[in-house]
Amino acid sequence: MKKLLWSLTVFGVILILPVNGVLEFDKMERLPDFNGTNVYQTENNVYSKAKPTMVELTFVKNPVERSAVCLDGSPSGYHFHPGSGSGAKNWIVQFEGGGWCGTIEDCVNMKKTSHGSSKYMEKQIPFTGILSDKAAENPDFYNWNKVKVRSCDGGSLMGDNENKDAKLQFRGKRIWTAVMVDLMTFNGLREAKQALLSGCSTGGLAAILYCDNFKWYYPKGKVKCLSDAGLFLDATDVAGDRPLRNLYRDLIQLQSVTTQLSNECLKRLNPTSCFFAQNLINQVNTSLFILNAAYDSWQAKSLTPKSADPNGSWSDCRLNIAKCNASQIKFLQGFRTHMVNLISGFTKPSKNGVFINSCFTHCQTENQDTWYSKNSPAVKNKRIAVAVGDWYFERRGAKLIDCAYPCDKTCRNEVVE
């Protein structure tokens, strides 16, 4: 079987599975990129027809001197779009979903991609969904300053180490610090009155890990955090193994992550367990919103690897939930139950928000169709963008947990051919 690094991206379907630190799959399949003009519908039935704003890549200042570099030593970067009007002092900082690497081999492979080197990054990217600058597409945050921090460190921006023999730099922590300092010094982030730290997938985990740190920069400002598809569970796969636990253990050791982890968590659990969001969310002091699909399509694939399915009985189901048989649906229902039970304590504080829909997908904030459009997924008739806005601005409660599959007819379930 061909070995590849595991990549998570807002535009891609993630199909590479971890086995003892080595991430396996035959190929990486991708959804079509967002391209061109789409039509969206607002709450008042008003349509918007516009192409997404393309935003330039900016490199951090003096990256080598600050060691704020990607896996291959190239400069780390971000995309910045300025706010306007009433949003000129408000900020969204979004972590890109990118990938993890827990072995030298995987990290060497990753540095040959945009998730390990800025040499391969797009010079411009579209800002859509929560990053859109159009009121009809993003009613609560359209005129805010927006930043997308690129993922190129292989460790959810938590590492601080290097491997000279393999010419690898694990500098996620320094990338985060450098981006924050640059934005505060040159772009006005220091004067932020309201701010939201968010992220998708591995970036969604980073939003949880850095939430209280982000709040520390603005002790008097209104600061909250949003994790989209970052609730990776320490779950058992169909063969009884725990693939993510193996990957996290290797990553933490390789990238020297332990010293960056929550001290409160480390008093109770080992470092590997403290990289799982399920063991962190109840200790986050800052207001946090968890957005996740109950049948997260990436996690569903990771729990049904080909190595544990030699007869291929999961081949169709793992790519399309509509093709699952009764026993497979039962397994996936168990995963959903596990997720819902784990967040039960998190939902109790009034400061927190939750949107768990019963969809088969991964990452929903940056995709316009799922964030805010005519047919966006909804729970109790509330769409994702509306729920997040209600929570952030404290208009009303936003603790929404969907009924079990297949009850939700608003889902835009992921289907991979």
Residues marked active site are found at: 201, 296, 362
Pairing of strands 222-228, 287-293: parallel
In order of 41, 86, 128, 280, the CA distances from 274 in angstroms are: 41, 39, 32, 7
Q: 383: which residues sit within 8 A by CB, 6+ positions away?
A: 372, 376, 377
Q: Are 257 and 32 in contact (CB under 8 A)?
A: no
Q: 68: which residues sit within 8 A by CB, 6+ positions away?
A: 60, 75, 76, 171, 174, 175, 177, 178, 179
Rounded distance between C-alpha atoms, residue 401 and residue 258, angstroms: 33
Rounded distance between C-alpha atoms, residue 416 and residue 403, angstroms: 24
Pairing of strands 77-81, 124-127: unpaired
Residue with tokens 């579209």: 126
Pick from 415, 4, 17: nearest CA to 238:
17
Taking the mean position of all CA atoms in its chain, how far away is CA 257? 19
Angle of CA points 198, 217, 133, to nearest 5°: 40
In order of 144, 196, 220, the CA distances from 187 in angstroms are: 13, 16, 19
What size, in residues, is the chain? 417
Q: 82: which residues sit within 8 A by CB, 6+ positions away?
A: 88, 145, 187
Angle of CA points 66, 67, 72, to nearest 5°: 150
Q: For residue 63, give both structure tokens.
A: 């990256």
Q: 225 — alpha (psi -120 to 50), left (phi > 0) or beta?
A: beta
Q: Are 202 and 172 in contact (CB under 8 A)?
A: no
Q: Are 34 and 12 in contact (CB under 8 A)?
A: no
Taking the mean position of all CA atoms in its chain, how far away is CA 66? 26
Burial bucket for residue 79 (CB in 10 Å: 0-12, 13-18, 19+): buried
